Amino acid sequence: MNVPLGRPRLLERLSNQRLILIGCSVFLGLLFLAALAAPWLAPHDPFLVNLAVKLQDPSWTYPLGTDHLGRCTLSRLLYGARVSLGFAVLIFASSLLIGLLVGTLAGYIGGWVDQLLMRFCDGVMAFPSLILVLGLVGIFGPGLKQVIIALMLVQWVYYARMFRGLIMTLKEKNFIAAARVNGSSHWKIFRTHLLPNILPPLLVIGTLEMGWAIMDISAMSFLGLGVQSPAAEWGAMIHEGKSYIRSNPELMIYPGLMIMLVIASFNLLGESLSERFGVTKQTK
């Protein structure tokens, strides 16, 4: 039933793609800027322990209060954004590149190369990705570097699968055949014919995947496998705050809220981009 009832004005406006696109872009853009400018924006040293002011309520000196070691929560959130966003971008970019390379090779060459690469991907995809990451971190040992390598090793297969499909559909088009007849090298075909045509889906999936990357890093840090204290990171902050959930729940709420907002923004942005470009989201 689609009866206008007067109330859903807000919902209507929320579903306005342009508004979502602009709103999420502005929010994420500001957050990236804030993360970059953290040393100037942060009111305090995020690592400075001062037990005299531990677990304080918000005040003019400490806008979001302090944690159990007297460190400024706002400063830690800002510095945490650097870690969360920075490494999410790193994981996303590197797994995207590997996936693009492998997927293009498999889709373009086909034959036994395709069979070999895709059977390997099937093997990796047979496990839930978080379990596989946990297992790999267990082998490598805890630490941010190990978590990033493990996430990269697991994430690229999803990109590879997707790019293979896209390349295979494109390869059947006659303009690829025409390009080969025209004497274009394989590299030139990839550069001028394949890449520009997979860019829109790449943008959409990339935005959606950024949310996952942030979630993965935070989850690993929360489990104590990723970022090690005293470094500031949102997942690690939730981890440290959980002992004070009854007395000072805000220690978990602030970083949790940040994670939620960022992931929601990336997902909404991805959805509205996919609507804009007419890209159907593929189920993982």
How large is the greatest C-alpha to C-alpha distance in the chain, in angstroms?
76
Residue 246 Rama label (left phi>0; alpha psi -120 to 50; beta): alpha
Under rule CB under 8 A, residue 197 binds other proteins: yes
Stretch of 22-30, 56-64, 98-106, 184-192 contacting other proteins, by CB under 8 A: 184-192
Q: What are phi and psi of 146, to 5 degrees?
A: -65, -40
Token pair 């996936």 is found at 99
Distance CA 162, CA 32 (A): 28
Cα dihedral 73, 64, 214, 261 in deg (nearest 10): 180
Among 15, 16, 182, 282, binds other proteins (CB under 8 A): 182
Does position 177 bind other proteins by CB under 8 A?
yes
* Nearer CB in complex with other proteins: 100/179: 179
Kindly write out the interface string for residues 113-142 of this chain, putting x where it contacts other proteins by CB under 8 A and - elsewhere: --x---------------------------
Shorter beta-carbon distance to other proteins: residue 202 or 225? 202
- Secondary-structure breakdown of the chain: helix, strand, coil percentages, each rounded to the nearest 5: 75, 0, 25
CB of 196 to other proteins, least distance (A): 4
94 binding other proteins? (CB under 8 A): no
Q: How many residues bind other proteins (CB under 8 A)?
A: 17
Instruction: Using DSSP, state whether 203 is helix, strand or coil.
Output: helix
| Binding-site string for other proteins from residue 156 to residue 175, where x marks contact by CB under 8 A and - marks none | -----------------xxx
Least separation, in Å, of the C-beta of 184 and other proteins? 6
Whole-angstrom Cα distance, residue 135 to residue 129? 10
Contact with other proteins (CB under 8 A): which of 1, 3, 11, 181? Answer: 181
Q: Of 196, 278, 280, 283, which lies in the binding site for other proteins, with binding defined by CB under 8 A?
A: 196
Residue 108, classified by CB atoms within 10 Å of its CB into exposed (0-12), middle (13-18) or buried (19+), is buried
Residues contributing to the site for other proteins (CB under 8 A): 115, 173-175, 177-184, 188, 192-193, 196-197
